[in-house]
Amino acid sequence: MKAHPCFGNRKNCGFRKRVLDKGRYERFIALARIFLHTVQGRKRIEGLFASHTLEDQQHYFDTMWDTRRWRSIFKIFFNKKVLAKRGLSPDYFHFDDGTESFAESFYRRSKHAMTELSIEGNYFLSQYLLGRYQTEMEIPDYLRLENFKTIQSRLDKIQIVTADVKKWLASREPTSIDCLSLSNICELMSIEETATTFEEVSRTARKGAWICFRNLMIPRTVPDSLSNQIERDAALSSQLHLNDRSFVYSRVDALRVG
């Protein structure tokens, strides 16, 4: 198989240098990773990825990984002062996922990823802890060489729009959208703005359209006034959240327009 260009020389990979690591979140993770390597050491980090079963992962986590220093990382990087400097508004510190702090919440999420989800093939965890992908096979589908020509042939179908999602949706025709992936954008909105967004989603989405919606910390959801038009598939949502290998989200919802 032809080598992926980002594996032969990772430091000089143009995609990595110019795109992949440039987001605010990615830069924050890179900073935390430097501290992690100081605390845990390269040998211990690579040892985690040598686990081949969930039992191995659990044992390694309990006996080698889950140190006082590891837990201190969350207190240092996921406290109100640090996150406020990263641009998070005060509203971000009012969340409800059964924990009392960001530090506790993200500690639990990381433990879930390291002990209950297979590390093998988890390119999210590899990026977080190693700053790279493990192998040419453990990468996102959009980076696979076998998908390059397909992506290239469909570039004309992609339209990039920089706009307020509420205003953009308001400019669309009714029932003109087949599906939506909203990520956790509503956490940056008020409850009223979230309601307006979902009103436009309900108006523009075709009947039967699927919507993927996430919460990082702040609880946001479809307003009660639209519960008959946009329904949450509880079983599918629970499955998606449980198996989410990125593991940072407190909630993943699969919604369907009725």
Kindly state whether residue 154 falls inside one of the protein's structural domains. Answer: no
Domain match, 125 and 24 both:
yes
Residue 180 DSSP SS3: strand
- Sorted by sequence, the CB contacts under 8 Å of residue 213 that are 6+ apart come out as 182, 183, 184, 186, 221, 222, 252, 253, 255
**Which domain-ending residue is among 125, 146, 167?**
146
CATH of the domain at 253: 3.40.50.150
Look at residue 148 and tell me whether its pLDDT is greater than 80. Answer: yes
Between 6-15, 61-70, 80-89, 211-220, the lowest mean confidence (pLDDT) is in 6-15
Residue 126 DSSP SS3: helix
Domain match, 135 and 230 both:
no
Domain match, 129 and 250 both:
no
Kindly state whether residue 151 falls inside one of the protein's structural domains. Answer: no
Kindly state whether residue 175 falls inside one of the protein's structural domains. Answer: yes
Task: Tell me the pTM.
Answer: 0.81
pLDDT for 135 = 85
Domain match, 110 and 171 both:
no
Helix (H) or strand (E) holding 183: strand 177-183
Kindly state whether residue 191 falls inside one of the protein's structural domains. Answer: yes
Residue 257 DSSP SS3: strand
pLDDT for 89 = 54
Geometric angle at alpha carbon 10, from 8 and 16, rounded to 5°: 130
Domain match, 234 and 192 both:
yes
pLDDT for 235 = 97
Domain match, 105 and 204 both:
no
Kindly state whether residue 235 falls inside one of the protein's structural domains. Answer: yes
With bands split at pLDDT 50, 70 and 90, how would you rate the model's confidence at 1?
A: very low
**Which domain-ending residue is among 122, 146, 170?**
146
Domain match, 57 and 169 both:
no
Residues of the domain holding 191? 159-257
Kindly state whether residue 33 falls inside one of the protein's structural domains. Answer: yes
**Which domain-ending residue is among 146, 168, 192?**
146
Kindly state whether residue 152 falls inside one of the protein's structural domains. Answer: no
pLDDT for 76 = 83
The strand order across the sheet containing 251-257 reads 177-183, 205-215, 251-257, 230-232
Compute the distance between CA of residue 258 and CA of residue 223 in angstroms, rounded to an integer.
Answer: 15
- Domain count for the chain, please give it: 2
β-bridge partners, 180: 211
Print burial letters for 175-203: b (CB count within 10 Å at least 16), e (below 16): eebeebebebebbebeeeebbbbbbbbbb
- Sorted by sequence, the CB contacts under 8 Å of residue 140 that are 6+ apart come out as 123
